[in-house]
Amino acid sequence: MTEPILKLEGLKKHFESTSGGIFNRKKGTVKAVDGIDLEILPGETVGLVGESGCGKTTAGRTVLKLYEPTEGKIIFQGQDITNLSRRQMKPLRAQMQMIFQDPFASLNPRQTVGTLIGATFDIQGIKPPGGVKQEVERLMERVGLNPEHVNRYPHEFSGGQRQRIGVARAIALKPKLIVADEPVSALDVSIQAQVVNLLDDLQEEFGLAYLFVAHDLSVVQHISDRVVVMYLGKVMEQADKKDLFLSPRHPYTKALLSAVPVPDPIKGRSRERIILVGDLPSPMNPPSGCVFNTRCWKVQDKCRVEVPALIQIAPNHRLACHFPEPA
């Protein structure tokens, strides 16, 4: 069996919320990520989906130790990196990179594209053969940007092009793992497809593993090999793409899938739709028992009291529900 590139064991990230002021009393804990177990193999894409506030972005950032994990283990290429210091992390960062959601906020407006992409080499003290400038131009070409634009500033590019700059920066050091946090959600449909295809091609070329964090199930379905569905910090279901999309077992997964509009009017009219009532509860004060019980249409007394454990129901298929849908 291939060694996973990344392994998470019961990963948790809790944020303490305080009242501010001179006493700064503790008000409560937001359990943004409350236990993720996951393995990502080299060259594989794992999609992490859920609605806003479900903790998917926090999870992605914690994996790269941009946040210190509260509990659990992060094992990267066989090495436990959970408690490594910033300095110890630095050489490893060449192997793990991030693509950010907002191509407007994630690029320094005062730096040229050349400086932005080239900085990755300076920070890691790597001298690419042929020099930084040549390598930057090669990277720009690879992601579909005109290398002549190397001295331009981010504002001179469109959203799609800016996201390509972000991608070039992420692949510059030939990482093994890229955490992509909503990389295409800020882009227009026709541009979105270009960037998704680019990510696909790069994966094939470099054997990259992606942790693809997104709320758009259509995109996740397209790009992922496996999918993790989160709700209020907890994993509801995780499975191979086919299993998850064809026979979802968790009521939340089922409702989520049925809510995605399909660009096909006849199918759309005939599709059975599960409309969930209400909104996501506050993560400050999550419901007792199963966190989904306030919106679940199959809820029973047990769900309000007992937290369902995430159990293996088939190879590669884990589920946290007392009353799952039939397979």
Partner 1 sequence: MKPFLEVKNLSVSFPTQDGLVKASNDISFSVARGETLAVVGESGSGKSVTSLAVMGLHNRNATNISGQAILNLETGPIDTISASPEAVRKLRGKSMAMIFQDPMSALHPYYSIGDQIAEAWGLYNEGSKADGIKRAVEMLDLVGIPGASKRVKEFPHQFSGGMRQRVMIAMALVNNPSLLIADEPTTALDVTVQSQILKLLKDMQEEFNMAVILITHDLGVVAEVADRACVMYAGKIVEQSAIDDIYYLPDHPYTIGLLNSIPRVDQLEGKRLLAIPGQPPSLISLPRGCSFRSRCTYSELVPNNKCATEVPNLDEKISGHFSRCHLTEAQLVEARTSAGGQA
By beta-carbon proximity to partner 1, the closer residue of 52 and 85 is 52
The CB-of-152 to partner 1 minimum distance in angstroms stands at: 15
Quick check: 222 binds partner 1 (CB under 8 A)?
yes
By beta-carbon proximity to partner 1, the closer residue of 81 and 239 is 239
- Per CB under 8 A, which region of 69-77, 82-90, 218-226, 304-312 contacts partner 1? 218-226
Beta bridge partners of 30: 15
Quick check: 205 binds partner 1 (CB under 8 A)?
no
By beta-carbon proximity to partner 1, the closer residue of 19 and 158 is 158
Quick check: 158 binds partner 1 (CB under 8 A)?
yes
Structure tokens at 252: 């939340």
Quick check: 152 binds partner 1 (CB under 8 A)?
no
SS (H, E, C) the chain: CCCCCEEEEEEEEEEEEECCCCCCCEEEEEEEEEEEEEEECCCCEEEEECCCCCCHHHHHHHHCCCCCCCEEEEEECCEECCCCCHHHHHHHHCCEEEECCCCCCCCCCCCCHHHHHHHHHHHHCCCCCCCHHHHHHHHHHHCCCCHHHHHCCHHHCCHHHHHHHHHHHHHCCCCCEEEEECCCCCCCHHHHHHHHHHHHHHHHHHCCEEEEEECCHHHHHHHCCEEEEEECCEEEEEEEHHHHHHCCCCHHHHHHHHHCCCCCHHHHHHCCCCCCCCCCCCCCCCCCCCCCCCCCCCCCHHHHHCCCCCEEEECCEEECCCCCCCC
Evaluate whether 211 touches 30 at the Cβ level (below 8 Å). Answer: no
- Per CB under 8 A, which region of 12-20, 24-32, 93-101, 158-166 contacts partner 1? 158-166
By beta-carbon proximity to partner 1, the closer residue of 20 and 125 is 20
Quick check: 196 binds partner 1 (CB under 8 A)?
yes
The CB-of-174 to partner 1 minimum distance in angstroms stands at: 24
How far apart (Å, rounded) are the C-alpha atoms in residues 172 and 128? Answer: 10
How far apart (Å, rounded) are the C-alpha atoms in residues 104 and 163? Answer: 9
Quick check: 233 binds partner 1 (CB under 8 A)?
no
Quick check: 22 binds partner 1 (CB under 8 A)?
no
By beta-carbon proximity to partner 1, the closer residue of 51 and 102 is 51
By beta-carbon proximity to partner 1, the closer residue of 211 and 255 is 255
Site for partner 1, residues 281 to 320, rule: CB under 8 A: 295
Q: How many CB atoms lie within 10 A of CB 266?
A: 8
The CB-of-264 to partner 1 minimum distance in angstroms stands at: 6
Among 62, 163, 192, 253, interactor with partner 1 by CB under 8 A: 192
Quick check: 45 binds partner 1 (CB under 8 A)?
no
Quick check: 204 binds partner 1 (CB under 8 A)?
no
Number of residues that bind partner 1 (CB under 8 A): 49
How far apart (Å, rounded) are the C-alpha atoms in residues 252 and 282? Answer: 17
Site for partner 1, residues 244 to 283, rule: CB under 8 A: 245-246, 255-269, 273, 275-280
Evaluate whether 154 touches 113 at the Cβ level (below 8 Å). Answer: yes
By beta-carbon proximity to partner 1, the closer residue of 111 and 194 is 194
Among 69, 160, 248, 283, interactor with partner 1 by CB under 8 A: 160
By beta-carbon proximity to partner 1, the closer residue of 31 and 241 is 241
By CB under 8 A, name the binding residues for partner 1.
51-52, 158, 160-161, 188-194, 196-197, 200, 215, 217-219, 221-223, 241-242, 245-246, 255-269, 273, 275-280, 295
